Structure 1
Amino acid sequence: MSLAAPTATTNPAEGYSGFIGWVLNLMESLGEVGVGLAILLETFLPPIPSEAVLPVAGFLAYEGRMSFWIAWAAATAGALLGAWIWYVIGAALGRDRTRRLVGSTPLLDFEDFDKAETFFRRWGGVAVLLGRCVPLVRSFVSIPAGIERMPFLHFTAYTAIGSGIWNAIWIGMGFAFGPAIKPALEQWSGILSNVVLVILAILLGWFVIGRLRQIGKKNRESAPTGAM
């Protein structure tokens, strides 16, 4: 009787290098716990794209190497824990200290904080809920929630719902497409990351140039008029 050849398993980190490769190896080594740790790290290190990490968890679930639902729960728990930490940091800083910090930062002033505070007081729940689905924003939207002392249970609910939906989408994609997802991720994850960085650089440049023009205009208006 001939024995069937063992099925070869795929290394999810193959094709990736650096920190992302290390994170994917962590997921394969620790299973669902590694998924939660990867998303927790992403909360503090935004260059780790969850859009590249979560589909690999779905692919591993497709291969039977982890549970889809436990991976989803671990990812959501990791996002929630990271959000709680940022919330506590915001609450510890407090409104007055943060306002002074913003006002003393180059190219910023107290008016910027006041506008952001007004916006968050009006749209705080929506900002936390939808912010969980936006790169970079999901890492830091918890800070104004802590500063404004959003009710902790409300903050937790908004974060859990937003993160749960986001994680389900990307893990589900990895599970649904199976082996086809990995070549696509290798091809597009780097491109998407570069596009995001370019957009952020353009927005930052636009902000700096606009703010410098605004400061120059104020200086010209406040300068004494020369004698004719």
Structure 2
Amino acid sequence: MTLLLSAAQSSAEIGGITGWAVDTVEALGGIGVALMIALENVFPPLPSEIILPLAGFTASLGTTYSLAGAIIWATFGSLLGAWILYGLGRWFGRERTRAIFQRLPLVKISDVDATEAWFHKHNQSTVFFGRMLPIFRSLISLPAGVIKMNMVLFTVYTALGSLVWNSVLICAGYLLGEKWNVVNQYVDILVKIVVIAVILALAVWVIIRIRARRRG
């Protein structure tokens, strides 16, 4: 059993998606990191909070890739995943998106117009900061594709935002060494905060819309 797998097992119970991520990074090195992060962007249940610190710990061993290499591979993977979702959003298109939202209860087409206008105005900062937020870091690529955000700008701001997120988690894993899995506990807290904020915002929006409809 390798040092990498032994350290992973000492940090957490290996199995399921996490075990697969560990095995892939161990077998493929930097390419494995890029592949896992690309898939994590398309399929969010894959845990970047496991993959990235693990990549940092692997870099600390100095046998597969360097710290800079881990960050570069991870950011490349982030771009690949983001390009896929951007392409899907662009293919799906504005008119299909509007048609779907028109059929949703409590949603007005003016809501869609306002959201679209806001994203057009703030797309650069939204993509940049969105890449650092759990849940949104993957989903943000879809509306960017739907409104046909400039591909070069999308790539630049996705790369910059991903670079920040990837660097923080990879460096944490690098510094923590065999305790790299501790990072997962803190990211889980951030995920819960984001989920609660989204649920509260959605609840407030639904209440306001129902009251407005009743008054109407």
2:46 counterpart residue number = 48
TM-score normalised according to structure 1 size:
0.81
Equivalence map 1:173-212=2 (5 Å): 173-182=172-181, 184-185=182-183, 187-188=185-186, 190-212=188-210
2:96 counterpart residue number = 97
Contact persistence 2:173–2:183 (CA under 8 A): no
Letter in 1 for 2:79: L
Contact persistence 2:172–2:183 (CA under 8 A): no
1:131 counterpart residue number = 130
Contact persistence 1:13–1:25 (CA under 8 A): no
Letter in 2 for 1:29: A
Could you tell me how far 1:177 is from its partner in structure 2?
A: 2.5
Structure 1 gap ranges (5+):
1-6, 222-228
Letter in 1 for 2:109: F
Note the alpha carbon deviations across 1:83-129, whole angstroms, 9 max, x for none.
11111112112222211221112332212211111111111111111
TM-score normalised according to structure 2 size:
0.85
Bigger RCO (CA 8 Å, 6+ sep): 2
Note the alpha carbon deviations across 1:171-225, whole angstroms, 9 max, x for none.
111112222333x2365455554554444444444444443333333xxx3xxxx
What CA distance in whole angstroms lies between the structure 1 residues aligned with 2:122 and 2:8?
39
What CA distance in whole angstroms lies between the structure 2 residues aligned with 1:88 and 1:186?
30
Q: How many residues align?
A: 211
Letter in 1 for 2:45: P
Contact persistence 2:169–2:183 (CA under 8 A): no
The CA RMSD over aligned residues, in Å, is: 2.4
> Highest Rg: 1 or 2?
1
Sequence identity (%):
38
Q: 1:28 to 1:202 in 2, by over 3 A?
A: farther
After the TM superposition, which of the residue ranges 8-17 and 172-181 deviates more from structure 2?
Answer: 8-17
1:30 counterpart residue number = 28
Letter in 1 for 2:172: M
